[in-house]
Protein backbone atom coordinates (compact mmCIF):
# COMPACT_ATOMS: atom_id res chain seq x y z
CA UNK A 1 0.00 0.00 0.00
CA UNK A 2 1.38 3.37 -0.98
CA UNK A 3 1.80 6.08 1.63
CA UNK A 4 -0.60 8.80 0.49
CA UNK A 5 -0.49 12.23 2.08
CA UNK A 6 -3.58 14.39 2.50
CA UNK A 7 -4.55 18.01 2.81
CA UNK A 8 -8.04 19.41 3.11
CA UNK A 9 -8.39 19.43 -0.69
CA UNK A 10 -5.91 16.88 -2.02
CA UNK A 11 -4.60 13.37 -1.68
CA UNK A 12 -1.16 12.95 -3.19
CA UNK A 13 2.08 10.99 -3.37
CA UNK A 14 4.76 13.25 -4.85
CA UNK A 15 8.29 11.98 -4.44
CA UNK A 16 11.23 13.97 -5.77
CA UNK A 17 14.81 12.87 -6.31
CA UNK A 18 16.92 16.04 -5.84
CA UNK A 19 20.65 16.62 -6.35
CA UNK A 20 22.67 19.84 -6.19
CA UNK A 21 26.40 20.54 -6.11
CA UNK A 22 28.78 22.97 -4.49
CA UNK A 23 30.13 25.76 -6.65
CA UNK A 24 33.08 24.51 -8.72
CA UNK A 25 32.35 21.08 -7.12
CA UNK A 26 34.63 22.04 -4.26
CA UNK A 27 34.79 19.19 -1.70
CA UNK A 28 33.86 21.22 1.39
CA UNK A 29 30.91 19.28 2.80
CA UNK A 30 32.57 17.25 5.55
CA UNK A 31 32.76 17.08 9.33
CA UNK A 32 30.80 19.74 11.20
CA UNK A 33 29.76 21.45 7.97
CA UNK A 34 28.08 18.27 6.69
CA UNK A 35 26.32 17.68 10.00
CA UNK A 36 25.11 21.30 10.14
CA UNK A 37 23.93 21.08 6.50
CA UNK A 38 21.93 17.94 7.29
CA UNK A 39 20.34 19.67 10.31
CA UNK A 40 19.44 22.74 8.24
CA UNK A 41 17.86 20.57 5.52
CA UNK A 42 15.80 18.81 8.19
CA UNK A 43 14.63 22.17 9.62
CA UNK A 44 13.64 23.45 6.17
CA UNK A 45 11.76 20.23 5.38
CA UNK A 46 9.88 20.37 8.67
CA UNK A 47 8.85 23.99 8.08
CA UNK A 48 7.59 23.19 4.55
CA UNK A 49 5.87 19.87 5.45
CA UNK A 50 8.35 17.93 3.30
CA UNK A 51 9.16 14.38 4.40
CA UNK A 52 12.73 13.13 3.96
CA UNK A 53 12.71 9.55 2.72
CA UNK A 54 16.47 9.20 2.23
CA UNK A 55 19.38 11.62 1.99
CA UNK A 56 23.14 11.71 1.61
CA UNK A 57 25.69 14.49 2.06
CA UNK A 58 28.78 13.88 -0.09
CA UNK A 59 31.88 16.05 -0.06
CA UNK A 60 30.73 18.06 -3.11
CA UNK A 61 26.98 17.46 -3.47
CA UNK A 62 23.76 16.66 -1.66
CA UNK A 63 21.36 13.94 -2.83
CA UNK A 64 17.92 13.63 -1.25
CA UNK A 65 14.67 11.78 -1.89
CA UNK A 66 11.67 13.63 -0.45
CA UNK A 67 7.90 13.48 -0.37
CA UNK A 68 6.66 16.96 -1.20
CA UNK A 69 3.26 18.56 -0.61
CA UNK A 70 1.10 19.09 -3.67
CA UNK A 71 1.04 22.88 -3.19
CA UNK A 72 4.85 23.32 -3.09
CA UNK A 73 6.66 24.06 -6.34
CA UNK A 74 10.00 22.31 -6.81
CA UNK A 75 11.62 25.66 -7.60
CA UNK A 76 10.44 27.11 -4.27
CA UNK A 77 11.68 24.05 -2.40
CA UNK A 78 15.11 24.31 -4.03
CA UNK A 79 15.18 28.06 -3.43
CA UNK A 80 14.67 27.37 0.27
CA UNK A 81 17.25 24.57 0.38
CA UNK A 82 20.00 26.39 -1.49
CA UNK A 83 19.32 29.92 -0.24
CA UNK A 84 18.91 29.22 3.46
CA UNK A 85 21.72 26.66 3.70
CA UNK A 86 24.14 28.88 1.78
CA UNK A 87 23.41 31.92 3.93
CA UNK A 88 23.64 30.01 7.21
CA UNK A 89 26.72 27.93 6.39
CA UNK A 90 28.70 30.85 4.95
CA UNK A 91 27.94 32.97 8.03
CA UNK A 92 28.72 30.20 10.52
CA UNK A 93 31.91 28.77 8.97
CA UNK A 94 34.70 31.19 8.14
CA UNK A 95 36.55 28.54 6.13
CA UNK A 96 33.60 28.39 3.74
CA UNK A 97 33.30 32.16 3.40
CA UNK A 98 37.00 32.31 2.45
CA UNK A 99 36.55 29.47 -0.06
CA UNK A 100 33.44 30.97 -1.70
CA UNK A 101 34.19 34.68 -1.92
CA UNK A 102 31.09 35.49 -4.01
CA UNK A 103 28.67 34.49 -1.22
CA UNK A 104 27.49 31.53 -3.31
CA UNK A 105 28.01 28.08 -1.82
CA UNK A 106 26.00 26.18 -4.41
CA UNK A 107 26.43 25.99 -8.19
CA UNK A 108 23.62 27.24 -10.39
CA UNK A 109 20.85 24.78 -11.07
CA UNK A 110 19.93 21.39 -9.69
CA UNK A 111 18.72 17.97 -10.79
CA UNK A 112 15.17 16.84 -10.06
CA UNK A 113 13.24 13.77 -11.13
CA UNK A 114 10.04 12.27 -9.89
CA UNK A 115 10.48 8.70 -8.78
CA UNK A 116 7.85 7.43 -11.22
CA UNK A 117 10.28 6.00 -13.79
CA UNK A 118 12.32 4.20 -11.14
CA UNK A 119 10.92 2.74 -7.95
CA UNK A 120 11.45 4.54 -4.66
CA UNK A 121 13.31 1.49 -3.35
CA UNK A 122 15.90 1.64 -6.12
CA UNK A 123 16.57 5.35 -5.49
CA UNK A 124 16.76 4.75 -1.72
CA UNK A 125 19.18 1.82 -2.27
CA UNK A 126 21.33 3.97 -4.56
CA UNK A 127 21.52 6.73 -1.98
CA UNK A 128 22.22 4.23 0.81
CA UNK A 129 25.13 2.69 -1.14
CA UNK A 130 26.91 6.00 -1.77
CA UNK A 131 30.33 6.00 -0.14
CA UNK A 132 29.48 3.02 2.11
CA UNK A 133 28.29 5.56 4.66
CA UNK A 134 28.40 3.70 7.95
CA UNK A 135 30.37 6.30 9.91
CA UNK A 136 27.92 9.14 10.62
CA UNK A 137 24.53 7.47 10.25
CA UNK A 138 21.58 9.24 11.79
CA UNK A 139 18.22 7.71 10.82
CA UNK A 140 17.90 7.75 7.03
CA UNK A 141 20.11 10.78 6.37
CA UNK A 142 23.77 9.82 6.40
CA UNK A 143 27.09 11.53 5.89
CA UNK A 144 29.55 9.58 3.75
CA UNK A 145 33.07 8.49 4.66
CA UNK A 146 34.58 10.93 2.15
CA UNK A 147 32.57 13.88 3.48
- Residues 73-93 pLDDT 10s: 999 999 999 999 999 999 999
DSSP string, the chain: ----EE-SS-EE-EEEEEEEEBGGG-----HHHHHHHHHHHHHHHHHHTPEEEEEEE-SSEEEEEEEE-TT--HHHHHHHHHHHHHHHHHHH-HHHHHH-TTS--BPS--EEEETTSS-HHHHHHHHHHGGG--TT--TTEEE-TT-
Q: What is the pTM of this model?
A: 0.80
CATH code where residue 102 lies: 3.30.70.1290
Q: Look up the domain containing 33 and give its range.
A: 5-143
- Residues 21-70 pLDDT 10s: 999 999 999 999 999 999 999 999 999 999 999 999 999 999 999 999 99
User: How many domains does the structure of the chain reveal?
Assistant: 1
Amino acid sequence: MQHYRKTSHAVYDIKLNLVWITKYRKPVLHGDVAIRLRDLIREICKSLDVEIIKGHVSKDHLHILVSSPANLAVSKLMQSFKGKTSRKLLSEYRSLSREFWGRHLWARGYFVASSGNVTDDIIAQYIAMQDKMERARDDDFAIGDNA
